[in-house]
């Protein structure tokens, strides 16, 4: 039976749903600049960095670096205005219970988020102190699907990658977990997270015991 010692959670789309706020912030910028941007377009920004999000929003349009920087700063200011409203009520259903179960199992808990705002989101949710390590958009330079962020978090937790399970809602995040030999649990649409070892619609009602035994039965 494989040993599993840590759970590493993505933030947006797994612990809370900040995707709506990212969408509204990008949409405001796009409207101001006369750039077409829909909710469907926003789905392609899930889990990717701020710069990569802007590149995808620009759909091939090339801008000078200074203008890219200004767009990213403006979008981030709009996004951060939403963050001031975040409270424990914004935890996705089942998350508080799932974290408590994982702790009771003696698992180490980490965050592996692409966001440079991850600490502020966690503080707003009131759960910062539940994690033994927090990896965010400042921790490494290569973003998901590179495995660097999850490897960084595992290092901080003092756990080998092969003993970690990543919970992710984005295709790039599942690819990153697989790349470094971690187990992966995909949260949400199988069209996005179909490459994961296990897929769950969300963490509502999820049982740590059940997940550990299903992963133990996989050839890894």
Q: Which does 192 bind (CB under 5 to 8 A by kind): ligand B16, Mg ion, none?
A: none
Q: Is 12 a catalytic residue?
A: yes
Place of tokens 């409207």: 31
Q: Which of 53, 99, 140, 147 binds ligand B16 (CB under 6 A)?
A: 53
Q: Is 26 annotated as a binding residue?
A: yes
Which residues are CB-contacts of 191 (< 8 A; sequence separation ≥ 6)?
A: none
Instruction: Rule CB under 6 A: say whether 137 interacts with ligand B16.
Output: yes
Residues 70-129 that bind ligand B16 (CB under 6 A): 76, 113-117
Instruction: Rule CB under 6 A: say whether 10 interacts with ligand B16.
Output: yes
- Of 46, 56, 55, the C-alpha closest to 171 is 46
Q: Which does 115 bind (CB under 5 to 8 A by kind): ligand B16, Mg ion, none?
A: ligand B16
Q: Which of 6, 8, 13, 163 binds Mg ion (CB under 5 A)?
A: 13
Burial 118-157 (b: 16+ CB within 10 A, else e): bbbbbebbebeeebbbbbbbebbeebbbbbbbbbbbbebb
Query: Helices 19-32 and 65-83 meet at what angle, rounded to 10?
Result: 130
Q: Which of 49, 150, 163, 166 binds ligand B16 (CB under 6 A)?
A: 49
89 C-beta neighbours (distance < 10 Å), count = 8
By annotation, the residues acting in catalysis are 10, 12
Binding site for ligand B16 (CB under 6 A): 10-13, 22, 45-50, 53, 76, 113-117, 137, 170
């Amino acid at each position: 039976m494989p040993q599993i010692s840590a759970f590493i959670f993505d933030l947006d789309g797994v612990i809370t749903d900040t995707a709506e706020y990212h969408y509204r912030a990008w949409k405001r910028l796009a409207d101001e600049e006369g750039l077409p941007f829909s909710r469907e377009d926003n789905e392609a920004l899930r889990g990717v960095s701020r710069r990569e999000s802007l590149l995808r929003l620009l759909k091939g349009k090339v801008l000078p670096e200074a203008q890219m920087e200004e767009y990213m700063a403006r979008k981030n200011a709009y996004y951060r205005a939403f963050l001031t409203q975040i409270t424990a009520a914004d935890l996705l259903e089942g998350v508080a219970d799932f974290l408590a179960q994982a702790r009771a199992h003696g698992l180490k808990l980490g965050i592996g988020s692409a966001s440079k705002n991850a600490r502020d989101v966690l503080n707003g949710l009131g759960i910062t102190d539940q994690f033994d390590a927090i990896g965010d958009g400042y921790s490494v330079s290569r973003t998901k699907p590179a495995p660097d962020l999850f490897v960084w978090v595992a290092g901080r937790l003092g756990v080998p990658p092969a003993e970690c399970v990543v919970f992710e809602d984005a295709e790039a995040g599942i690819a990153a977990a697989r790349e470094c030999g971690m187990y992966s649990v995909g949260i949400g649409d199988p069209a996005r997270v179909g490459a994961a070892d296990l897929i769950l619609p969300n963490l509502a009602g999820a049982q740590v015991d059940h997940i550990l035994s299903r992963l133990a039965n996989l050839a890894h």
